[in-house]
Structure 1
C-alpha cells in the first residue's frame, strides 16, 4: 500500500513541508492587509494547486480567512477535456464549502468558435493575427475583476499561481524580485498593483504564494496530497491526465487549447491521448487541420485594390486576404459538430465524460450570424474570392496587369 504523505514525514518529505510553510508565511504576511481576496484560476496545474492549497489552509485554520473570497475561473471554452472536467468537479467542491465562484467567459460574439465560424474572422496565427488569448481570457478576466470591485470597498488581493520553479530554500530568485513596491527581501512574491490591468491600478494587489514551489511539489500535491480527506478531498488527480498521467512530471508537458491554432503540433492533445481512458477523444485531432484549411485562399475573400482606412491612410496591403466565406463557415461548423458528436457517442458507449466544443447557444448564434450575412468591420462580403487571379495593385497605386488575359 502506498504511503500517504503527512506533515510529520521526515527525509525527502521535508522539502514539501518547507514549501507549504513558506506559503503559509506569505499569506500570513500579506493576507491580513486585505479584507477581500480573489483567486485567479485557469484550471491548469499551478493555479489548481494554488487554489486548493489556499482553500485547505483556510479550512484548517492555518491562515485566517478573509471577509470575502472569490474564485475567478477563466473558462475559455477551449480547454483540454480533462482540465475542463476537473474544473467542473472542483467548482462543485468549492461551492459546497460556501465559496463564491465566478465562471469568467468571453461575451458570446467574442468566443473563439463564434468569432471564427459566426463572424468569419480567420483563426489566429503567430504573425499578424494573434487575437485569441486577450479576447477569450485576459479581457473577460479584467472585466470580471472590475465588476467585483464595484461590489466591494477597498482593495482586493488577487492570488495567482505564478511560480519561479525552484524552492526558496535552495536559490535566491525570489529575493532577486523583492524590489517591487518595497517588499521585504525574501518575500518578493507580493506586488501592490496588477500589471497590465487597464484601469485597475491601485485597487488590486497580487500575491503568488506558490512562487517558490518546485514542479515536483505541484505534482505531489495534485496527485497524492490534495485528493486525501486530510488535505481537502479535492478532484485534482484528473488534472495530471492532461499533462501525461503518471508520466506528467517526467515528460514535463505543457497544456493549451484543444487544437491550438498557434502551435506547430498538437502536443498537449497528443499527451492526453496517450492515457488509455482519454483515447475516445481522438477525433479532436481533426480540429487543428480545420483551422489550417480555413486559412486557405479558397475559403476567404480579399480586397480588390487600394483601400483607404478610417484615418484616411492607405492600407499597407491593398489586396490582403480577409474573412472566411459564409459557405466555409457553415462547413467548419458542421465539421466541429461532427467531431463533438463522435467523441460523445464514444463517451456514452464507454461511460466516460462527454465534451462541449460548441454548445446549443453558441451553435444558434453562429447560425444566426451566418444567416444575417455578418462580416468583420471593413468588409462587405462582396469582395472577390481570395483565390481569384487579379492584376497586382501596390500601395502607391501602381498596377501590374496580368501577363495573360483570362482563359489564355
Structure 2
C-alpha cells in the first residue's frame, strides 16, 4: 500500500494516523477540514477523527472545523446526504467529546447562481466564461477561513486531495509543497496553511480505508458506495482557489453545470432508478443549449451589462451580452415548474428546494431597478405556477405598482424610449433622494445616457457607414 519506485517502504493506515496525531499536537493552529461528502474528503475526515481519538483527552483540545460548501444548486440527493452527515458529525463529536464541529457555507444571495443567471442575465457558464466557481465555491469557503484566521492568527486547511487523481493535481501539489514539512502555504489566503494527509493514497487505498468498519460519526459508508455506483462519479473538492481543478466530466456537484458537455453523473443516477431527477437534467440541457452560436442570437442581448456594444476586429456581429428579459422569464417559469414536478415525485422525506425565496426576492429587485419590471413579474409567476404568494418586502421608498407600470409604458411608447432607460433613471433618482449633496446624480445620469440605447439595426448601420468612409480614405 502507498509504495512506489522512489519509496518502496510500505506505509500503513496506522502510520498515517500516527503522522496526523503528530501534526495535530505540534502547534495551536486550528484545523479546517474540507468536506464535500465524496470519497476523498470522507477518507481524510475519517482518518483525522480516528487519529485524534487515539490522543488523550487533554491533548485533543485544538478545534477542528469540518467545512462543507453548498452552492445552493447541488444535486438534491447529495444535499440530503451531506446535511445528514453534518448533523451526525456534530452529534457524535459532542457525545465523544471530540473538538470537531461541522459547518456549511453558502454564497451570498446576491452571488447565487439563479440571481446571476435569471436576475442579471449571466449566460450559462462555459469553459471560456466560468463565472460561477468564484462566487459559489471559492468566496464562501474563503470567507469562513478568513474569519478563523482573524480569530486565531493562522489556520491549517486539511484537504482530501491525492496526487493520483490527475497529473495536474500532482503538479500543483508538488509546486506548493515545502521541503521537509507536511504543511504548505496557501497561495491566496494569508495565514492559511495546507495539509494533505492522504495525498499518497491510491483509489483502492481510499475505498479500503472507508470500508474497514463503521464511521466514527455513526453508520458506515455503504450509502456512499451506492451513490458512486449509481452516479459513476468522482467528487468536487472544497474549492478555495482558481488552481483547484473543477469537477471534471463525471462528478458530484452542481446539477446546473454547463461547463461539461454532458452531466454523466446525473444521467447515471436517472438510469439507475432516480427518475425523479430527470426534469433537472432536462433543464440543465436546456441551459446548455444556449451556448450554441445560433441560439445565442435568439436569447442574448447584443449589448453588454454595462450598456456597451463590443466587436472583435472584423467580426460582423457584436459579442453577445446577458440573456434577454423575456428569456430570463422563460427560465424562471421552467425552473418553478421543475421544482413543482420534482417535489411531487421525490422519495418520501426528500426535501427539494431548487430556488430559495430570498433568491426570488433578489431577482425581483434587480428586475425592477434595472429593467423597469414594475408589475413584479416574479410574484406573478410564483403565484401562477407555484400557487402561492411570494412575500412582498415593505419599503420606505415609493414603489411603482402595476397601474404605474402601464402608465410609464405608455410614456415610453409615446416618446420612443426604452423602458429600461426610464427604469435606470428613476432608480438613480431614488438612490440619491433625501441626500443633502446631490452632485453624484449628474454623473449617474451621464453614465446612463452614454449607454447604447439604439436597436441592433441602427448600430450595425453606423458600423457599416464608418467602415465605408474609412475605406474611402485608406
* Candidates 201, 224, 245, aligned match of 1:239: 224
8 Å CA contact 2:35, 2:68 repeated in 1: yes
Q: TM-score, normalised by structure 2?
A: 0.64
- CA change 1:40–1:248 in 2 (3 A) is closer
8 Å CA contact 2:232, 2:250 repeated in 1: no
- Give the corresponding residue for 1:170: none
Distance apart, 1:243 and its partner CA: 2.6
8 Å CA contact 2:280, 2:338 repeated in 1: yes
Deviation per CA, 1:311-331, whole angstroms, max 9, x where unpaired? xxx874782211112221121
Which residues of 2 match residues 159-174 of structure 1 at below 5 A?
A: 159-165=158-164
Distance apart, 1:33 and its partner CA: 2.6
8 Å CA contact 1:34, 1:66 repeated in 2: no
Deviation per CA, 1:60-100, whole angstroms, max 9, x where unpaired? 54995351111221111222233221110111012212433
- Give the corresponding residue for 2:352: 355
- Give the corresponding residue for 1:190: 183
Larger RCO (CA under 8 A, 6+ residues apart): 1
- Give the corresponding residue for 1:111: 112
- Name the larger-Rg structure: 2
8 Å CA contact 2:31, 2:64 repeated in 1: yes
8 Å CA contact 1:157, 1:206 repeated in 2: yes
Extract structure 1 runs of 4+ deviating beyond 6 A.
246-249, 378-382
- CA change 1:221–1:270 in 2 (3 A) is farther
Deviation per CA, 1:299-354, whole angstroms, max 9, x where unpaired? 221139xx879xxxx8747822111122211211121121122111011xx42523
How many residue pairs align between the two structures? 352
Distance apart, 1:233 and its partner CA: 1.7
8 Å CA contact 1:39, 1:160 repeated in 2: yes
Does residue 342 of structure 1 match 2:341? Answer: yes
Which of the pair is proportionally richer in helix?
A: 2
Alpha-carbon distance in structure 1 between the residues aligned to 2:459 and 2:148: 53
Distance apart, 1:248 and its partner CA: 6.5
Alpha-carbon distance in structure 2 between the residues aligned to 1:45 and 1:400: 62
Alpha-carbon distance in structure 2 between the residues aligned to 1:138 and 1:62: 35
- CA change 1:49–1:291 in 2 (3 A) is same
Distance apart, 1:178 and its partner CA: 9.5
8 Å CA contact 1:108, 1:114 repeated in 2: yes
Alignment gaps of 5+ in structure 1: 1-16, 167-172, 402-408
- CA change 1:329–1:178 in 2 (3 A) is closer
- CA change 1:62–1:163 in 2 (3 A) is farther
Provide the secondary structure at the position in 1 that maps to 2:23: helix
Deviation per CA, 1:230-255, whole angstroms, max 9, x where unpaired? x4424644333443249769xx9533
Alpha-carbon distance in structure 1 between the residues aligned to 2:56 and 2:232: 32
RMSD: 3.8
8 Å CA contact 1:31, 1:66 repeated in 2: no
- Give the corresponding residue for 1:324: 323
* Candidates 34, 37, 42, aligned match of 2:36: 42
- CA change 1:233–1:217 in 2 (3 A) is farther
8 Å CA contact 1:242, 1:268 repeated in 2: no
